Structures are given as structure tokens and as C-alpha cells.
Chains A and B, each alone.
Chain A
């Protein structure tokens, strides 16, 4: 039982996870696999933010690809045109994205229901048009070339191995921050808002402030991921930041398990790596991908991570011939 409690402690889990993924390059040495893991880490960072917003606070954003794109384009343009170092690009990206997210968040988050989803949807499309039309600055639809390689305090990152450690370090930092947010008073307020805005308002939760705050934070995660992406690929084009990518991000959160940080990472890892393995199905890849998603959602409606947990619980109880005691709606980091 002590062991079980240890595993359920989020910080113990975090330490275990950190140890595991930092040791992964000992086993995985191929540049290609490391490259896929880098992309997974970058996607995980966005999805963690989106999970705080969707899973914990119950607000839906369909425009996170645009914050990701803004992060990438701000640092990309500064780097390609004016040779700003990547760290300065990061500072600029975070500041500008925070301001933009706040400006959109304040009016829309005071509304109930799906207004935020609609507003972010529109915002995503507007940003996409800007990426396309500001040709002299963004390179237009042909994309932006000439972005410098990642360089932090004179250390250049140019192999996938180095990039693995860099992106995973950022992922761990973001994960730790998210665990803290979820476990703090803020996290309880967010869950209260998810449960009922009216009730939490009556209890004295400043709903608008928390909603805007978590929206800005999740946009910042996306901007950070965009910054990493731009300096990793060293080329960006609008086609990476479409509405479809926003939808894919939402799918990662939902398939992983809404309201579970580990689920978010799991979802990002699965949806990013699955197409890489499915290529053996040749032209039917997309079909098989869709089929797997449908199967997952039918048999594991609470998402993959919870689905697997449920399965183990069921097996455990079946072995002890006792009925399962599931507690639906239980939230855990």
C-alpha cells in the first residue's frame, strides 16, 4: 500500500518520469527516433497548456495552433531578418503572445458556453491569414527561411541528441509548473469553475480573472513550443499552423484523457508517433489512424490513460472477485 501511495504522489511520479526520459537516449540512439521524440516533447508542451484550459477549467480553445504559430513566427522573423539571438526571440514571443491572449481573453472569457471556442476559432483563422499575407515579413505562403539554429548562452544545439535534452528539459519544467498549478488553490478554483461557474462565483472565486489567467498561461505554453519548433526545423510556413492542427491538439487532449496532465503527454506522444508507425499500411494509413481513434473513444470514453487505469482496476477487482468501485469524475494530476 505504501508503494501504491508513492506511485500516486504526483511529485514522485514526476521524479520517476524525469529519470526515465532523461535516461531514454541511452537506449534510443538513432537520430530519427530522437527527432520524433523532440516533436513529441514540443507537442506535449502545447497540449499540457490546452489540458489546463480544457480539462481543468472546461474552456475550449480551437485556436491554439495560432499561438504556437505566433511563437514560431515572432522568433523566426526576429532571427531571420534582424539576427536576434533565440533567447531574445523567446522573450519577445512570450511578451507579445501574453498580450494578445490577454486582449482576446478579457472580453470573450466573460461570456459563457462556447463563445471562447468561437472566438479562438476566428482568431486562429485571422492569424493564419496574417502569416500568409505579410509576405515581406513572414515570407508568405512559401515560408520563412534563414532562421538561426538554437543557441543558448553560446551553446549551439545542432544534433537531435542535444535537441532531445533541450526540449525534454523545457517539457519537464512546464510539467512541474502545471503540477503545481493543478495542486494549488488556483487548481481547485479552476476545477470549481469547470464544475459550475455560478456556484464557484458564489463561493467567491474571481471567475473572470482565473479564466483569463489560465488562458494566457496556456497560450504561453504554445508560444514556448512554437519558439522551440522554429529553431528546431529552422524553417516555418503557414501550413504548419492551420485550423486542422488546432483540432489535432484538441484530439490529443481528449484522446489522452481530459483533465489529466499525464494523459496530455500520453495523447501527444500517441498522436504524434502513431502516423510514423502506420506508414506500413501505405495508402490506408489515415484510415487505420481514424479507426484506432474511434476504437479508443468507444472502448475508453474517458481517454486512453484513464481507460488503461480503468482496465487495470477492472482486472484487479476481477482477480479478487470483487465488484469494481470506480469513482467517476475523480480528478487527479
Chain B
């Protein structure tokens, strides 16, 4: 047994050190996702999607006949680990472009080495801080939390709701959402009557919800990723709270329905159109892209497994590939060349919406990328 472990360790080290210099006949793409750890519900579909797309692309002949080589590491949503992974991609694997990471905090943590090394990054995290102010080498694919807040608040306003309560998770995602929820409320004629927070690993939010029950709030907006929002949905049902519950786009994965069960019925979230393909009209420009991705992903990883997070990775990978293609046409497949090409991409129909990047906009989306989704009969459906 001991010998086996030693052999395994030695093999691991040899494999690590045996990384070769870039061959001229391949393109190198780096990816870092939180495929394990607290954000794994988000990171795992991103990892699956990226692996699937690389396989597809190489089977179809790669980019201009050159194969794509993927270098992927797990950040575990830890800033120090992500920092090491980025350095590994930059100096050891010598990739041309990096996609990921999964979470906002980790993205902020790796921006300094990214900018220093001058390598394009396409993040799959939500926070608006990633692209505002614009950083030369940093792009992102998911809609920002600002857009999600706008979508929710516009819905509330149309229903005549004036008083709203918010409950946010204590991490980079919830924090960024909380700031936007408070900042934008007056623009939609809303008053925030309760502002509660919860810890990422909390298993009971009855206390916060009881406080909300004691106010005259007409709706709850919950900002978090797994498993918090599912717990909140359950507690809300137990406490007999009847005011509607709106979630952020951070729960747009089947995991939410699985965890919250019946309690998820009748709750809302703004989400990319990926999870409600069936309710989309055929005229929708995204429909064909979305169905193709969904069919491919679910064919490989099981029925109802597709989530918008994998979609963010899908968009990031496609954009990276498109930029490499264009850079090859321009005869400048360098980190700088690829960056310039990403900035020029317009009209790209992705899973998150239609992307129009520019020197001023490194996200390229508007809130129209979102639909308001209701959970009905254990599935997603587009709400009116």
C-alpha cells in the first residue's frame, strides 16, 4: 500500500514537471473553475462544458486545422490557490487566453497577476466590479448583478409593489448584490424595509425571515448561491410567509429545485433563457444556440442537468475561440492580438444573451439577456 502511494505521488510529480513547451501546431487555452469546494455547484458545470466543447472542437478539426489544448485547474474558490493556478497557466503552460474563474472574489484576486502578465481573461463571475471600471485585459460573460437587480425591480414595479425586504449572503456575490439592491431601489420607487444577511454555510434562516415577517414588506429578494436560497425557500414555507420570493440569477441550476423541493414552487428568479427554452418562441434569436447546447450537455451529463453557469463557460469558450480565429486571420495570435479581437466581437449570440463588446464595455450584455423565470411543477417556466 505504501509503495502504491509513493508510486502515485512520484507519477504525479513527474506528470507535473513533464509539461512541454508550446508546440507550433496547437492553441493553448487555460481554464480555472471552482469545480470542488463551496462554489462547486457553479464550477462543475463550467468544467464539464469546457471539456465537452474542447472535445467537440478538436473532433471537428480544431481552429484552422490546429488542435486546441486545454489546461484546467481547480481553484476551490480560494484566492491563494487561484493565484498559483494563474501563474501556472501563464508561465508554465504558456496559454494564450484564460477563461474563468467561477466566483467574483477570486476574479478580483487574480486581476493583478493577469494585468501584470498582460494575458486576456474572460471571467465567468457576476460582480459588476470585475468590468467597472474597465480593465484592459479583463472581460466577463455573465450578466452583471446590476442587470439582475434591474430586472427584478422592474418586475416588482410593474406589480405595484412599493416595499421590499432583502436578504443577502455574506460573500463577494451577496455583498455586491446587496450594494446594487440598495442603490437601485429608489430608481424603481421602492423602499428597502428590511436588510438581512446570512452566512454561506448557515442551515437555518428563520430568525432573519421572522424579522422580515414583522415588517410591512410586500416581497423578499434573496441574493445568494447554494445552498442558502434553498434553505430560505424552505423556512419561508415553514413560517407561512406569503409575500413573493425573488431570487438572484445565482440559483439558476436544477440543484435549487432539488434542494428546496416543494418550497421552490412559485418562487421567481431572473435568468438567462437557457433554462426556459421550451417557453421561447421560435423567432427568438438565441433559441437555436440554446437548444444545441442543452441537447449536447444533457446528452453527456444526464437529463435536466443543464444550468446557466455552464452557459457562462460556453460563452467564454466560444468567445475565446472566435478571438483566436480572428487573430489568426489577422496573423497575430499573441496574447495582445487575442485581447484586441475579443474587444471587437459584436453580435455574438451566446447563452447569456447577445454580446457586443467594445473598449468601454467588457461585459457586452444588457438586462434584456434576462427573462423572469417562475418555478412551476418542479421545473422552470417563463413568467409574465
Contact = CB atoms under 8 A, between A and B. Distances in A.
B79 A235 contact: yes
Interface in B112-171: 112, 116, 127, 129, 170-171
A331 to B, nearest CB: 28
Contacts of B92: 30, 32-33
A33 B93 CA distance: 12
B36 interface: yes
B104 interface: yes
B109 A235 contact: yes
Contact of B36 (A160, A233, A285): A285
Contacts of B84: 32, 35-36, 39, 276
B330 interface: no
A143 B105 contact: yes
A160 B91 CA distance: 11
Interface centre among A39, A235, A291, A295 (most CB of B within 10 A): A235
A278 B10 CA distance: 10
Q: How large is the interface on B (under 10, 10 to 19, 20 to 34, 35 or more residues)?
A: 35 or more
Contacts of A160: 87
A158 interface: yes
A251 interface: no
Given A283-B35, A283-B36, A132 B170 contact: yes
- Secondary structure of the A contact surface, majority rule: helix
A100 interface: no
Interface stretch (B12-20, B56-64, B315-323, B359-367): B12-20
A167 interface: no
B172 interface: yes
Interface stretch (A19-27, A79-87, A134-142): A134-142
A285 B81 CA distance: 14
Q: How large is the interface on A (under 10, 10 to 19, 20 to 34, 35 or more residues)?
A: 35 or more
Contacts of A229: 80
Nearest to A279: B73
A45 to B, nearest CB: 15
Nearest to A33: B92
Interface stretch (B1-9, B225-233, B235-243, B249-257): B1-9
Contact of A295 (B5, B116, B174): B5
A142 B175 contact: yes
Interface in A199-236: 229, 233-236
Contact of B81 (A142, A145, A275, A299): A275
A285 B175 contact: no
A276 B77 CA distance: 15
Given A240-B80, A280-B15, 16 more contacts: A31-B91, A35-B87, A36-B84, A140-B170, A141-B105, A141-B170, A143-B108, A143-B172, A145-B111, A158-B116, A235-B108, A239-B79, A239-B105, A276-B16, A279-B73, A285-B74
Given A142-B172, A237-B105, A240-B79, A292 B5 contact: yes
Interface string B62-91: 000000000001100111110110011011
A234 B2 CA distance: 41
Interface of A: 30-33, 35-36, 39, 132, 135, 140-143, 145, 158, 160, 229, 233-237, 239-240, 275-281, 283, 285-286, 288, 291-292, 295, 299
Contact of B109 (A233, A275, A285, A288): A233
B74 A141 contact: no
B176 interface: yes
A238 B90 CA distance: 26
Contact of B78 (A143, A239, A291): A239
Contacts of A35: 83-84, 87
B28 to A, nearest CB: 15
Given A158-B116, A240-B78, A240-B79, A141 B5 contact: no
Nearest to A35: B87
A141 B108 contact: no
Nearest to A160: B87
Given A277-B9, A280-B12, A239 B77 contact: yes
A277 B105 contact: no
B175 A141 contact: yes
B16 A235 contact: no
Nearest to B44: A283
Contacts of A234: 112
A33 B105 CA distance: 24
Contacts of B109: 143, 233, 235, 237
B112 A235 contact: yes
Nearest to A244: B78
B172 A280 contact: no
A237 B79 contact: yes
Contacts of A135: 175
15 contacts: A31-B91, A35-B83, A141-B172, A142-B105, A142-B108, A143-B79, A145-B111, A237-B109, A239-B78, A239-B79, A239-B105, A276-B16, A276-B88, A279-B74, A285-B74
Contacts of A291: 5
A217 B273 CA distance: 57
B111 to A, nearest CB: 7
A288 B8 CA distance: 10
Interface string B11-51: 11101100000000000000000011000000000000000
Nearest to B112: A234
Contacts of B104: 142
Contacts of A237: 79, 105, 108-109, 172
Contact of B175 (A33, A140, A236): A140
Contacts of B1: 295
Contacts of B74: 279, 285
A51 B92 CA distance: 34
Contacts of B80: 39, 229, 233, 240
A235 B82 CA distance: 12
Contacts of B16: 276-277, 279-280
B272 to A, nearest CB: 23
A32 B175 contact: no
A279 B116 CA distance: 25
